[in-house]
Amino acid sequence: MGVSGCGKSTLGALLAEALDCAFLEGDAYHSPEAVAKMRAGHALTDEDRWPWLDRLGRAADEAVCENGRVIVACSALRLVYRDRLRAAIEAGARFVLLEASRDDLFTRLENRPGHYMPASLLDSQLATLEAPLDREQAVVLPSEQPPEILRDSVLRMLRGG
C-alpha cells in the first residue's frame, strides 16, 4: 500500500515471484471513468473508490481461494479502504506501507511515462493517506531501499522472523 509512485507494483511483483503466487495490480481494477478522471488531473472520491475496492477485494479473495495466497498492489490510503478489503478477503489480509518523501515521490511520478496518474495528484494522495493503526499490524518500510531488500524484509515478516 501507499501513494502512487512509492514502489507498490515493483515490490508486489517481486513478492509474488518469491512466493510463487498471483499478483494483482490494483490499477487494473479501476473503471475507465476513474482512469479518465485521474488522467485529467482530478482526484478520486470515496464514491469513485468503493466499486474499485470491491472489484479488487473480490479478485483477491478468489485468488486466495484458488491458490492459497495472493499479492495485491493497492494504494489503500485510508483505514476504511483497508477495512473494506479485509472484509472482502475471507482469509484475511496483511498490509505493507511503503513510505517515501514527497520530493522522491514527485520525481518518480514525473519520470514514469505512460501512466495515467499525474504528479499533480500526489499532494491529494498524501493528504488522504492515513498511517496504519497499531491494531492493523501493518509493516512500514522506507521505499528508498532497493526493491530486493524490501522484498526480503516482507518475506522475513511473513515467516515470523
The pLDDT of residue 118: 76
Range of the structural domain that residue 99 is part of: 8-154
For the segment 78-110, what is each residue's pLDDT rounded down to a tens digit? 999 999 999 999 999 999 999 999 999 999 988
Q: What is the DSSP letter of 62?
A: H
**Is residue 159 pLDDT above 90, yes or no?**
no
CATH (domain of 114):
3.40.50.300
Q: Which of 11-25, 29-43, 69-83, 100-114 has the lowest mean pLDDT?
A: 100-114
In a domain, 84, yes or no: yes
Q: What is the pTM of this model?
A: 0.92
Q: What is the mean pLDDT of the chain?
A: 94
In a domain, 33, yes or no: yes
How far is residue 49's CA from residue 81's CA, in Å, rounded to a whole number?
8
The pLDDT of residue 52: 97
Dihedral sign for Cα 16, 69, 112, 103, please. Answer: negative
In a domain, 72, yes or no: yes
In a domain, 159, yes or no: no
% of residues, the chain, pLDDT over 90: 85
The pLDDT of residue 90: 95
In a domain, 160, yes or no: no
In a domain, 3, yes or no: no
In a domain, 128, yes or no: yes
Query: Among 57, 44, 48, which Cα is nearest to 4's?
Result: 44
In a domain, 64, yes or no: yes
Number of domains in the chain: 1
Helix H or strand E segment including 71: strand 70-73
